[in-house]
Amino acid sequence: MSNFRRPLQDAFLLLEAIFDKPFGPEWNPFRQMGTLAFFFFWVAAVSGIYIYILFDTSVAEAYQSIEYMTYEQWYLGGIMRSLHRYASDAMVVTAALHMSREFIFDRYRDVRWFTWFTGVPILWFLYTSGISGYWLVWDQLAQYVAIGSMEWLDWLGIFGEPVANNFLTRGSLTDRFFTLLIFMHIFAPLILLFIMWIHVMRVAQPKINPPRGLALGSLLMLVVLALVKPAVSHAPADLGTTPTDLNLDWYYMLFYPVFDKLGPGALWGLAIGISFLIASLPWLPPLRRPKAAMVTLDQCNGCTRCFNDCPFGAVTMQPRTDGRPYEQEAIVNPKLCTSCGICVGACPTSTPFRHSDMLVTGIDLPDFPLAKVRAKFNKAIESARQAEGPSILIVGCDHGVDTRSHESAGVASAKLPCIGMLPPSFIDYALGRDGADGMIVTGCRDCDCFSRLGIRWTEDRLAGARDPYLRKRVPRERLKVQWAGRTDGVTLDQAIEAFRGELTALDEAEAAAKETGGTSLAGETTPAAGGAE
Ligand code: HEM
Ligand code: SF4
Ligand code: SF4
């Protein structure tokens, strides 16, 4: 990880930990910035449709029609106007935070380049949509912003006659030109929506909508803001004067003072330069990652689990090519694969209950094969069992809490690229005969999996809601799930201590039951060697 990113990550993790307390991991707004931006788009769209119904599209009446909805119909038109403005502002804030977060947590390079890259036109159309909306109020702010924008466009010299000429004198702005401005404000958000759709096109199973409660809470917050501080206009536009005392919307208009100071050429240079810089970040420097996942055809039965679980759409199913009696086979597109290993955790052939030279799975990571995972498990379990008291195996991932720094007498760990690489049969194996007394599964913070779906699929597999299931015979009381981010070492320490106590109590209860000839509390913990998932 680049060094400069680490303090920024720590700051974000700290902030998010604070928000985790009242909101919980799923509703934490910091983890929902992309979905919230989508939600605010819809709020702006619906409120926009309503205010357009009340809006008079002529230059002479536009201002008055907005005054009418603000003051006469404040209870609906006024609220809708404020919702429209505040939701648009909220889109800028959420998009900026979402972009910063993806950058800071290094979720924009390699296969993610496309999603990042399409974020740049999103920013352009978001700004075009917001700024063009301000023109329609046709007050003094609209006058300032419209003239500034047109002079900026004129600098390119692509229009035969300067468009800023439409604002030269009182009466020079025609209804025809004003209608053009209105069209711009309708088309820019439509194009924005289209690019937002392209933006998530390559994200497998993208999360587009925020949790319902968070969406309702955000809407309520905007309504309260609309009532407490309703959006109002400046004095009506007057092309015979130059507006001076303006209350700029800093979310959208931060570039206008730069324009006033530096002129159109410098602002074009700045806007295009920043856009190019942002767009090229995924290659500065490009991410080097291990080799892509590979399918071993004679182990693949075409079950589609890897296809369903891959968070990056890197697996496709195709008609069988080897004549075996299955309809389909999996194939990996190396250009889309992040080597997260989630497909390996999904494959029914990923079972450790095999003879060592036979541990070949349907799909595997060439640089981190499942045989190596089993060897790591064996080594860690052996080391944990050396100490007195319960032995604990912690399995973590490359992006969450550093499990190695929590090893101690009786506690050993193994790391995977993503916790989603863990096939449930490995838990069965680790807690079986000659295994550990307990196992802790950890990874990134809850709802914040670096590989997007690793935590979700792991929880579903453990709960028996998704193939491959954790077998019934696995003693659940000897398994603990504790999600913990890179800075959550204390949380993991506390979980280890509490778990150690629980395991000691379990062992004592089992020993007592054995002495009195009763049945074991933990149930059958010895897997039949060679049993498959
Ligand atoms: C209106 C503005 C935006 C909206 C509504 C939006 C929405 C989304 C959504 C819904 C996702 C999918 C999240 C998931 O399911 O994992 C996403 C992913 C992403 N977005 Fe945006 N986004 C916006 C702007 C941007 C911008 C400006 C950038 C950067 C230039 C950006 C960069 C990314 C990246 C890199 C991902 C991929 C994350 C991953 O694969 O883990 N987004 N966005
Ligand atoms: S390693 Fe990850 S990205 Fe690659 S195919 Fe498997 S699940 Fe998909
Ligand atoms: S999960 Fe394994 S068996 Fe199923 S399609 Fe993928 S590689 Fe083949």
Please tell me if the CB atom of residue 310 comes closer than 6 angstroms to any atom of ligand 2. Answer: yes
Residue found under tokens 């324009």? 259
* The one-letter amino acid at 511: A
Q: What is the pLDDT of residues 104-122, one digit of tens each?
A: 999 999 999 999 999 999 9
Tell me how far apart the alpha carbons of residues 287 and 289 are, in angstroms, rounded to a whole number: 6
Please tell me if the CB atom of residue 37 comes closer than 6 angstroms to any atom of ligand 2. Answer: no
**Helix (H), strand (E) at residue 65:** helix 59-67
> What's the pLDDT score for residue 530?
36
113-136 vs 79-104: helix axis angle to the nearest 10? 160
- Strand boundaries in 106-179, DSSP class E: none
pTM here? 0.93
Residue 357 pLDDT level (bands cut at 50, 70, 90): low
**Helix (H), strand (E) at residue 225:** helix 212-228
Provide the token pair at 524. Answer: 């059958």
Q: What is the pLDDT of residues 301-332, one digit of tens each?
A: 999 999 999 999 999 999 999 999 999 999 99
- Domains of the chain from N-terminus onward: 29-246 (1.20.810.10), 294-515 (no CATH)
Max alpha carbon distance in the chain (Å)?
101
> What's the pLDDT score for residue 433?
86
> What's the pLDDT score for residue 354?
77
Give the number of other CB atoms < 10 A from CB of residue 168: 12
Identify the residues whose C-beta falls under 6 Å from ligand 1. Answer: 34-35, 37-38, 91, 95, 98-99, 102, 107-108, 112, 115-116, 119-120, 122-123, 126, 196, 199-200, 203, 206-208, 278, 452
Any alpha helices (H) in 232-334, and if so which ranges? 250-253, 255-262, 264-280, 305-309
**Helix (H), strand (E) at residue 196:** helix 175-199
Residue 20 has pLDDT above 80, yes or no: yes
Among 312, 421, 456, 461, which is best to mutate for testing ligand 2, by the most ligand atoms less than 8 A from CB?
A: 312
Tell me how far apart the alpha carbons of residues 148 and 259 are, in angstroms, rounded to a whole number: 8
How many Cα atoms are found within 13 Å in the side-chain-facing hemisphere of 209?
A: 7
Torsions phi, psi for 169 (to 5 deg): -130, 165
- The single-letter DSSP state of residue 396 is E
Please tell me if the CB atom of residue 470 comes closer than 6 angstroms to any atom of ligand 2. Answer: no
**Closest CA relative to residue 131, chosen from 188, 51, 90:** 188
CA-to-CA separations, 92 to 50, 213, 250, 367, in angstroms, rounded: 22, 22, 10, 41
> What's the pLDDT score for residue 288?
86
Please tell me if the CB atom of residue 363 comes closer than 6 angstroms to any atom of ligand 3. Answer: yes
User: Which atom of ligand 3 is the closest one to the Cα of 346?
Assistant: 1
